[in-house]
Chains A and B, each alone.
Chain A
Amino acid sequence: MHPALSVIFFTVVSGAGFGLVILSVGLGLLGGVPGLGVSGTLTSIVTGVVLATAGLLASTLHLANPKNAWRAFFRFRTSWLSREAVFSVLFYPCVALYLLGLWSTGGAHGAGMTLVGVLVLLLALATVFATGMIYASLRTIPQWNSPLVPTNYLLLSLASGAVLLTGVTVAFGESPAVAGRLALVLLITAGLAKAVYFFWIGKPQGPTINTAVGATRARIKLLESGQSSDSFLNREFSYEAAAARINQLRIVVYVCGFILPFLLLVALLRTDATPLSLTLALSAPALLGIGLLAERWLFFAEARHVVNLFYGRQQC
Chain B
Amino acid sequence: MKLGLVIDTDTCVGCHACVVACKQWNTSGTLGPLTDYQPYGEEPSGVAFNRVRTYEVDTYPNNKTINMPMSCMHCETAECVTVCPTGASFKREEDGIVLVDQDKCMGCNLCAWACPYGARELDEAVGTMKKCTLCVDRIYDELLPEADRQPACVITCPTSARAFGDLDDPDSEVSRLVRERNGYQSLPELGYNPVNRYLPPRNKPHAETTPGAPLPSLSERFKSWIDKAIVR
Q: Are B189 and A72 in contact (CB under 8 A)?
A: no
Q: Are A226 and B52 in contact (CB under 8 A)?
A: yes
Q: Kindly state whether residue B127 has any CB partner on chain A within 8 Å.
A: yes
Q: Are A214 and B200 in contact (CB under 8 A)?
A: yes
8 Å CB interface, B47-83 against A: 47-48, 51-59, 62, 65-66, 68, 70, 79, 81-83
Q: Which of A68, A222, A307 contacts B104 (CB 8 A)?
A: A68
- Closest residue of chain A to B112 (Cβ to Cβ) is A236
Q: How far is the CA of A115 from the CA of B43 in the complex (A)?
A: 58
Q: Kindly state whether residue B167 has any CB partner on chain A within 8 Å.
A: no
Q: Are B19 and A74 in contact (CB under 8 A)?
A: no
A-B complex: 3 closest residue pairs judged by Cβ atoms:
A64-B107, A65-B127, A218-B58
Q: Kindly state whether residue A141 has any CB partner on chain B within 8 Å.
A: yes
Interface residues of A (CB under 8 A from B): 1, 62-69, 71-75, 78-82, 85, 134, 137-141, 207, 211-215, 218-233, 236-237, 305-307, 309-311
Q: How far is the CA of A277 from the CA of B114 in the complex (A)?
A: 47
Query: Which of B16, B52, B53 counts the most chain A CB atoms within 10 A?
Result: B53
Q: Are A211 and B187 in contact (CB under 8 A)?
A: yes
Known: A218-B58, A236-B112, A236-B113. 6 other contacts (CB 8 A): A75-B86, A207-B187, A213-B186, A215-B58, A218-B57, A222-B53
By size class, the interface of chain B is 35 or more
How far in angstroms is the closest Cβ of chain A from B71?
Answer: 12
Q: Are A63 and B108 in contact (CB under 8 A)?
A: yes
Q: Are A79 and B82 in contact (CB under 8 A)?
A: yes
Interface residues of B (CB under 8 A from A): 9, 14, 16, 19, 43-48, 51-59, 62, 65-66, 68, 70, 79, 81-88, 103-110, 112-118, 121-122, 124, 126-128, 184, 186-192, 198, 200
A-B contact pairs, 22 of them (CB 8 A): A64-B127, A68-B86, A71-B104, A72-B85, A72-B106, A74-B87, A78-B82, A78-B83, A79-B85, A81-B110, A139-B114, A139-B116, A141-B113, A207-B190, A213-B55, A214-B200, A223-B54, A224-B53, A226-B14, A228-B44, A307-B117, A310-B117
Q: Are B116 and A224 in contact (CB under 8 A)?
A: no
- Chain B residue contacts of A73, Cβ below 8 A: 85
Query: Which of B56, B81, B107, B108 counts the most chain A CB atoms within 10 A?
Result: B108
Q: Which of B113, B184, B192 contacts A214 (CB 8 A)?
A: B184
Q: How far is the CA of A207 from the CA of B127 in the complex (A)?
A: 31
Q: How far is the CA of A141 from the CA of B112 in the complex (A)?
A: 12
